[in-house]
Chains A and B, each alone.
Chain A
Amino acid sequence: MSFFGKFKPSSTPSNPNVSPPAKKDPNAPQPTPLEKLLAPDSLEPVRADGSDKYFGFENYGSTCYCNSIVTALYYSEAFRDHVINFPSKAFLDSISDELEKSAANGGLTGHKNTSTTPYPNPMSPARKVAQPTSPGPNTPVKPEESKDSPEYKKRMAIQNGPVLDMTYDNSKKYGMDESLFTSLKDIFEAVIEQKSRIGVVSPHKFLEILRRENEMFRTAMHQDAHEFLNLLLNQVVDNVEMFSSQHAAIVLQAQANGGAPEKALSKTTTNGVNGVHTPSNGLDTRWVHDLFEGTLTSETRCLTCENTSQRDEAFLDLSVDLSAHTSVTSCLRKFSEEEMLCERNKFHCDNCGGLQEAEKRMKIKRLPRILALHLKRFKYTEDLQRLQKLFHRVVYPFYLRLFNTTEDADDSDRLYELYAVVVHIGGGPYHGHYVSIIKTQDRGWLLFDDELVEPVDKNYVLNFFGGEPQPGVQDAKQLACAYVLFYQETTMEAMLKEQEAEGNQQNKPRTSDAGTTPMDPSTFSPPNLSHLHHTQTVTDPPHELLDHMKPLAHAATAPVAPDHHHAHSQSAPAMPSVANLNVPKSKKELKAEEKERKAAQKAEEKALAAQRKESANKRMEAWRKQEAEMAQIMELSKQSAAEEARKRGEEPAAEKSGGGGLSRFARHGSMSLKGKPKIFGGGKDRDSSAGLPAVPQGAAPADTAPAETPMSPGGAGGEEKAKKNRFSLGRKKSTSLM
């Protein structure tokens, strides 16, 4: 993990020239790139559908997993519309009497005043520093802090507002119990109602409900964005279905009392519980399924009796295994390749009875309208006994069709377009940061990084293929890899239209607002500023995390001194290159070249010196705070041993295994491990909470395990729970498991 060592916290701008030429009045508000982008249309009325709203989300302390996913969902036009329009106005009107009644009886009052966390949340990093009265001791506000740092921009975003404090609960207005869905709906409606096109959402209530109902998200630790997506979709399904089943009861009750139910509702009432799935009177409870759900057909052929059995399984997202230098197309193909069920993963054949060897393949029978593609970058490695991040380079195109469909699938050549990428930034699964890059309806691609929203070039979207980090390459981009890809259904016509629009846009002269177009990267983020803090919207104080990145490179027992040593050893190989560059060349050339090198060397040395100083200070501070436990120290020293071994000239592969790096965060039995039950199939029982029993392949192909979390959606029967298991299908080759 030596590349981590390079990320020195030099948050002071090493180059003052980089900051924008706003020296005259530092307090004068500078339009942000987003404001500049929106400026031409600032006088136009705000759209009613919310498609021209560009709101950041406040980070409540490592809640970036939530922010990135919620934003990605918001910009799915279909999803947003459904959230806004459920329950439909017509339906609400029709049951308004019953609602009032039940409200009076206290029937529908859900959880009220259950707020357990104060508002505003003190965990919010951007907020914390925004209040000058209580500057966090760990985040000293440097007067000369760069205006280009994301931290600064995030704070400004909060300051400039408007900040939508989502502390209220409108669930009663929707005739629903308070739930994740109603809280999500609150957020969407608040954003849409807001007059301003930009601002920050403070999703207080949403997180409160999430944490109240889901133990695994209760801690302020880094969470898995994909698990959250899956949980959120499943809960929305539950909330919506529960609502309609409740109303089936209400309506029935009304009937019994002699009240005449709305005619249009009769279907619901007569069909009873089954009726909830039929879209009647605009009460379409299947919309989440319609959007995200697809069907997989798994064909299993028993090798003993040659009997083939078929099973259909629904999925809300697909989890695909990765291998280096592949495309998502190839990952999906592999997902549907024939797989042998053998050894400890045998198939229970009903025909011959008992566990048999079998061949199995899974193909997509019904294509979802929104394909949420989860790239399984967090893989359990046996030798390290923990999850490890895979940096494999996996390319993804802007447009996609699926090859792994069944022959009888409808519309099997459906065209998908990429509309959102959730990016994980960090060296391992237990820490890091999530951002999302999203295609908006008519503003091109935007980067949503918590509170910060910035326009980006279309090509920027392709920066997150991943790739094994190169030791010694000082490029933090190596840590950022696409984690969840959202493809949505589209048409050739729409694609052609968009391509033409893009071309026109590119051909527009840039002179009019040079430097403000999203095309011009130089307007934001000068390259040489230290933006490290991007990686740590985690609750841990910034430099504490840093401190973790660094010590990987040296022994944990000698915290302070080795840094210099480390830095030297890093730069050392560069030096000889200057001195004895030897090509049989004329003196003049040699001279010129030497000049080149010297310049480069000088610059490098300077930068290194500054970094060293900066980081040494930070680390000292951090070390004092650190309450390192024994096990962690052990782990760290193991890491550093590997690192040292690598330095001695072993192949870099040894070092690669340190990818998970930050052992301190390797909480054994962490919640996020729960989502990967099958990874542990047949593994040693190393931790009571993590070592879930092996799941027989045929029985429950659920990859993530929302059902294992205490979701307790009131009234959801056991059957519903079992159904939930089917979502988010992932698939592991038994051979590639360990």
Chain B
Amino acid sequence: MFVLPPPPRYPNGQLYTGMPGGALLETNNTLEHPTGPEYQLVVGEGTYVLRDDMHLATPPPHPSDAPQPNNNPLATTIGPPTAGTKLSTVVFAPKKPPQSQSLFRTTTTQSTRSNFASIQEESQGPKSDAGSTNGYGSRATFGDGNPALAPVAVKGKKKDERPKPKNNIVKSNSSFVSRVIPHESMAKRLGEHSPDGIFAFANVNRAFMWLDLSSPSDMKTENMTKVLFTKAHAICHDVNTFTQSTSHLDVILGFNTGDLIWYEPVSQKYARLNKNGMINNTAVNAVWWLPNKENYFLAAHMDGSLIVYDKEKEDAEFTPEESSPSPTENGYTSNGSTDAVPLPRQSRLNIKKSVQSRNQKTNPISVWKLSNQKIHGVAFSPDGRHLAAVAEDGTLTIMDYLAERVLDVHRSYFGAFLSVTWSPDSRYVLTGGQDDLVCIWSVADHSLVARCVGHESWVRDVKFDPWRCDERNYRFGSVGEDCRLLLWDFSVGMLGRPKIGAHRGSIGNGAPVAREKSHSFSAAGRMRSKSNLSTQPDDSLNGGEANGAAQGARVHGVDSKASTATLPPVMNKVVDSHPLSWLGFQENCIITACDNAHVREWERPKEGAGEEN
């Protein structure tokens, strides 16, 4: 075994941000196993115990970019944008989360109500194959109907062979990539990796790391590969679950410079897109592969643009193709005279290039200007039909991205939304934001279901726990600036009643949006009275669809606090000493990551323990 000498230390912490950073940072990841009650999360189902606390090495600034000591407390220079540590996980052969088969677990004692049909069966007919990645056969996907985007048969290409990027990142002499450090026995480790083991990718400032979280602890701290970039900071990344295999991983990285890198870590190949911000020169805040698409990914740029790129296409100078307002824009409704909210321009989708454009030889595939302000997060619904995006201006936009159409625009209670996610059954959207709230939005009802109160600062990430969602109960978690992890159980019975339920109204726009409000109130009422989530969506879904199609996007007002149900957390605990930036649920653990690059794995309670009731 190769023994490393003591790691070198850098005294300067997180120079870029001035944010709390470790006093000493090391080039190697370190692993700790702190124990004690403060490293345990006690929930109804049992106790989650901190298994591993891995501190990822944060690289010092590149020498050419090293900040000078700053003696001016009012210096107006702003460091490169950072987004803390963001992870993504890859499991090649996941033991399917329950919802991929039946959407919800039916084994728990609470869920044995006989008349309770599975939500999926009732309302999600065509979506039921969402879990299986290839089950899309007949479903519309992005770019359908545009012959310019029809797959071109490539000669001599084997069917299961995935295209790789062109350039070797290890041998690259690009000034963009500073250094690549592959593990010396990567092939061996790849071979030994269990199919249900967890690979994780993490971006930390200018570093991008590939980790094997399921390797034995003496190997765990060693990166499979670590890529250091020269000046650019990787802000976000995503792994394509549609194309992933033991021999191929499509990773896309978004940078503060606007650049995007398509990276295939197994073969160490890469390609750079939107080079030097050719198409859009603002930072990429979020990036996602389109559901069940091999080539397309969506990048949310800082200027409020959502751009779909093809990983294999070349960049070309972009000029907006359709300056005239899109049909969607005209199709706006003000929801009758009661809705006094003036329709702000930024809530309309400005299609600068449609996916239906015939000019598809080069990137971008489509360009939508969603907002005037920074987009903080985007998420595709698991059924692949909708896209949710949240922005600095405090809007949640739910889109039918296939039809390039905005369905709903919701508003935060106040301040920006920072994170967004979908429930496993694509029926609910969660947001977290600067109002310290997690909000549950019903897609079918086009309404706010509940505000979740418990965070002490801004909510940076929200995720559902697919392993603990069933037809009675949704489990989700949230992390934020307050260093806390909160777990929530969203079920009908737990919804706190609004204090003034009688007149549910919206605020800030004079009168309530009559149709919207009465609708959602009746829905909420039904939910409460019948305790049955699955009875209401059909009609409302259909009605909503029809109305939505006829009227265009709905712009909703803000619900007053008195009229909104609130939800308390089932667990609320400080789990790190730094603001948390990422949260993930795995089959056997919860993973949290913080601004200071601590990745913590909280092992789930052992089966049977704590399940007394």
Contacts and interface: CB of A to CB of B under 8 A. Distances in A.
Interface of A: 6-8, 10, 150, 323, 325-327, 329-330, 333, 393, 395, 397-401, 403, 407, 412-413, 415-416, 423, 425, 435, 447, 449, 454, 456-457, 459-460, 463, 467-468, 470-480, 491-493, 496, 499-500, 502-504, 506-507, 521-522, 524-532, 534-535, 570-571, 573-574, 576-578, 580-585, 589, 592-593, 596-597, 599-600, 603, 607, 611, 652
B179 A499 contact: no
Contact of A583 (B27, B372, B579): B27
B39 interface: no
B336 interface: no
Interface size of B as a range: 35 or more
The 4 tightest CB contacts between A and B, nearest first, are A503-B372, A531-B72, A528-B68, A474-B69
A581 B23 contact: no
B166 interface: no
A412 B505 CA distance: 13
Given A327-B481, A473-B12, A480 B181 contact: no
B562 A407 contact: yes
A403 B560 CA distance: 11
Interface in B57-72: 60, 62-64, 66-72
B471 to A, nearest CB: 33
B71 A603 contact: no
Interface string B125-158: 0000000000000000000000000000000000
A400 B344 CA distance: 20
A500 B373 CA distance: 9
A695 B470 CA distance: 55
Contacts of A526: 77
A535 B5 CA distance: 43
A451 B62 CA distance: 37
A8 B71 contact: yes
Most-contacted residue by chain B among A416, A524, A570, A573 (CB, 10 A): A573
A531 B561 contact: no
Contacts of A416: 414
Interface in B484-532: 499-500, 507-509
B435 A325 contact: no
A475 B481 contact: no
B394 A399 contact: yes
Nearest to A589: B179
Given A407-B499, A603-B66, A413 B508 contact: yes
Given A525-B76, A527-B67, A492 B557 contact: yes
A472 B12 contact: yes
A580 B8 contact: yes
A367 B19 CA distance: 34
A588 to B, nearest CB: 10
B564 to A, nearest CB: 10
Given A447-B74, A470-B21, A476-B75, A326 B69 contact: no
Given A327-B456, A474-B69, A603-B66, 12 more contacts: A333-B456, A413-B561, A435-B74, A470-B21, A492-B558, A493-B341, A499-B393, A503-B372, A534-B73, A574-B10, A577-B8, A581-B8
B248 to A, nearest CB: 26
B303 interface: yes
A330 B482 contact: yes
Interface string B1-26: 01011011111111100111101100
B413 interface: yes
A503 B27 contact: no
B78 A527 contact: no
Contact of B74 (A395, A468, A493, A531): A531
Contacts of A580: 5, 8
B434 interface: yes
A435 B67 CA distance: 24
Interface in B375-434: 393-394, 413-416, 434
A457 B457 contact: no
Interface in B308-361: 341-342, 344-346
Contact of B15 (A463, A473, A521, A592): A473
A301 to B, nearest CB: 20
A570 B23 CA distance: 12
15 contacts: A325-B481, A327-B456, A327-B457, A327-B458, A397-B414, A413-B508, A425-B73, A476-B71, A492-B341, A530-B71, A534-B72, A580-B5, A584-B4, A599-B63, A600-B66
A138 B458 CA distance: 46
Q: Would you call the interface of chain B mostly helix, strand, loop, or mixed?
A: loop
B483 interface: yes
Most-contacted residue by chain A among B71, B75, B304 (CB, 10 A): B71
Most-contacted residue by chain B among A413, A491, A576 (CB, 10 A): A413
A327 B373 contact: no
A374 B64 CA distance: 41
B457 A582 contact: no
A530 B72 contact: yes
A506 B342 CA distance: 22
Most-contacted residue by chain B among A475, A499, A531 (CB, 10 A): A475
Interface of B: 2, 4-5, 7-15, 18-21, 23-24, 27-28, 60, 62-64, 66-78, 179, 181, 184, 303-304, 341-342, 344-346, 371-373, 393-394, 413-416, 434-436, 453, 455-458, 481-483, 499-500, 507-509, 557-558, 560-562, 579
Given A330-B457, A577-B9, A476 B4 contact: no
B18 A475 contact: yes
A530 B74 CA distance: 11
Contacts of A403: 453, 561
A499 B77 contact: no
A607 B68 contact: yes
Contact of B13 (A473, A502, A534, A597): A473
B562 A503 contact: no
B232 to A, nearest CB: 16
A584 B5 CA distance: 10
Given A327-B436, A473-B12, A531-B74, A412 B303 contact: no
Contacts of A583: 4, 27-28, 181
Nearest to B340: A493
B69 to A, nearest CB: 3
Contacts of A423: 74
Given A522-B77, A600-B66, A330 B11 contact: no
A329 B558 CA distance: 18
Contacts of B184: 584
A580 B560 CA distance: 60
A569 B49 CA distance: 40
A149 to B, nearest CB: 9
A507 B70 CA distance: 31
Given A399-B414, A573-B11, A589-B179, A460 B76 contact: yes
A359 to B, nearest CB: 20
A119 B278 CA distance: 59
A475 to B, nearest CB: 4
B238 to A, nearest CB: 26
B458 A395 contact: yes
Contact of B20 (A327, A393, A504): A393
Contacts of B483: 325
Nearest to B484: A325
Contact of B77 (A150, A425, A527): A527
A76 B360 CA distance: 52
Contacts of A534: 72-74
Contacts of A496: 341-342, 344
A195 B71 CA distance: 36
Contacts of A525: 72, 74-77
B23 A472 contact: yes
A467 B19 contact: yes
B482 A476 contact: no
A589 B66 CA distance: 20
Contacts of B179: 589, 592-593
A401 to B, nearest CB: 5
Given A470-B13, A580-B8, A397 B415 contact: yes
